[in-house]
Structure formats: C-alpha cells, structure tokens
Structure 1
Amino acid sequence: MFEHEWKCHWGQVDPAGIAYYPRLVDAMHEAGEEFMESIGISYWDVKEFDMDLPLVAMDMEFRKPVFVGDTISIEVEPDIGNKSLGFDFTARHEDGAVAFEGHEQHVCVDEDKQSMVIPDKVREPLEEAIE
C-alpha cells in the first residue's frame, strides 16, 4: 500500500485553525499523483501514450479535524478498470484515527476525449503496484 505524508500549515487553515476543506481535497489528489509518480507514470507522462486521465467523480467524508501542525498519512489504493482508474484514500492522524476517506474516479480518454482501454504500458505498472 502506498502512503503519502501531508502536513497542515498555517496558510491552509480556517479561522478556527482547522484545515480548510479545499486544502484536504488538494492533499488527497496530491497523494494520488505521488502514487502514480512512484510507479514511474506521472499524470503528465500519460500524454506520451496519446491518452489522458481526467477526473470524472470525487467524494470525501471528513471524520476528524486536521489542525494546523498536524501531519496525516494518506493511504492510496488504486482500483483498475478496463477504461477507468479509481483511487480510494484513507487519511490517518499519527494516532491512527481516520481524518478523512475519499475516492477519485478517472476515465482513460484518447486525444479526441473518447474513452479508451487503459494501455498496457500504464496498466502493467498499476497492476504490479497492487500485487
């Protein structure tokens, strides 16, 4: 399982000192990007395969606030479909308490923005990462 650490800084909180929710969305997406880079495929690199992976759905459920100075660990679990790629995220505080859970769903599209089967050069490293 891939994990990405994220620290909440002063500029990322609301007046109550709690992480402003769009920053947690950013942190979640950043964890997905870091996972892809860890297997040798960045979102930008997929263009060399004449494809793209736009986000088509996303959801989050907040469980425990993240305060300024907190570091959370975001677990990333990919879900590989034929023409889609999903990510399930679980963010945990240092004590193991769940801060949030989320999901992103991407679809694989060609240059004309039509859905396409995920190419083997992308699928194979994804499958190796979850074995």
Structure 2
Amino acid sequence: MTQHTFEREHKIHFSECDPAGIVFYPQYFVLFNDLIESWIDELLPEGYRGLIGARRVGMPTVHLEVDFKAIGKMGEAVRHSLDVERPGQKSLTLTWACTGEDGVMRMAARQTIVTTSLDTHESIAIPDDLRTVIERAAAAARR
C-alpha cells in the first residue's frame, strides 16, 4: 500500500448524497477541506483554529483540478488521502484522493493553496513552523 502524507477513513453519510444515494460532487470539496483541517490539527500544536484564528493565516484555494472516476454511495467506507506535491514559498500544491474499500478510486484532485494574511488578504510566505512540519510529513511519506 502506498504511504500517504495524511489519510483518514470516512463513512459516506446521507447528508453528503443526492437523491440517487450517491455523493453529490461538491461534498467532496467539503470533505477534503475537513481533511486539510485535520492534517493541520495534527501538524501544529494550536491546530487549524489557531492558524486562522490567533495567527490570522488563511489557506485559500487558488487552483483546483478534479477527476471523478467512480460513484461513491451512501454508507460506503472510503479512505481520503492527501499528499504534498510541491511546497512553494507562498503556496502549497496538494493531491488528494477518495478510494473505496474495493480499491477503486472514486475521485482525485490536485489543489494549489496560498497562504494569506487574513487581515490584508495578501499572500504571505508559508510560516516557517508550518513549512517545517509540512516538509517533514511529506518526507516521511516518501520513505
């Protein structure tokens, strides 16, 4: 099995599905935002809340490419994975995927996020402590 930078199990809920009982595609974006928040929670002592709250550092998406490969169904157990493709000076490119227990990928995406000041809404350098733990997590996944 491939080692990912960060991953979580998830059960697809009724609230994430359309009337046909399959994942309504925008829900994947909510689920992966949750995955990023959980990842930052594990990386930084103050977590995502401290990053955007006290430190006023935002992480908005500036580019997103998505491929929907198979349907996800209500009640299905899936694995969400996140990998660091490229840490830049002010941005971070991530790849993420949703894979079923059957090993079939439901969707995959490539996302670029930028670190910003939530006071000025201008891009800023990725904070040193965040960069350090991101690079460490990515290196550990590649071993």
What is the TM-score with the length of structure 1 in the denominator?
Answer: 0.88
Does the 8 A contact of 1:90 with 1:100 survive in 2? yes
93-102 or 1-10: bigger deviation: 1-10
88-97 or 22-31: bigger deviation: 22-31
Q: Identity, % of aligned pairs?
A: 25
Q: Does 1:60 align with 2:66?
A: yes
Aligned mates of 1:119, 1:27 — CA distance in 2: 25
Matched length: 131
> Which ranges in structure 2 are unaligned for 5 or more consecutive residues?
none
CA RMSD of aligned residues (A): 1.7
SS in structure 2 at match of 1:112: coil
Match of 1:31 among 31, 35, 51: 35
Residue equivalent to 1:127: 135
Aligned mates of 1:100, 1:5 — CA distance in 2: 15
SS in structure 2 at match of 1:16: coil
> Which ranges in structure 1 are unaligned for 5 or more consecutive residues?
none
Aligned mates of 1:42, 1:85 — CA distance in 2: 17
Residue equivalent to 1:108: 115
1:33-87 CA-partner distances (Å, limit 9, x unpaired) = 2111121263332244453222222232110100111111011012311110222
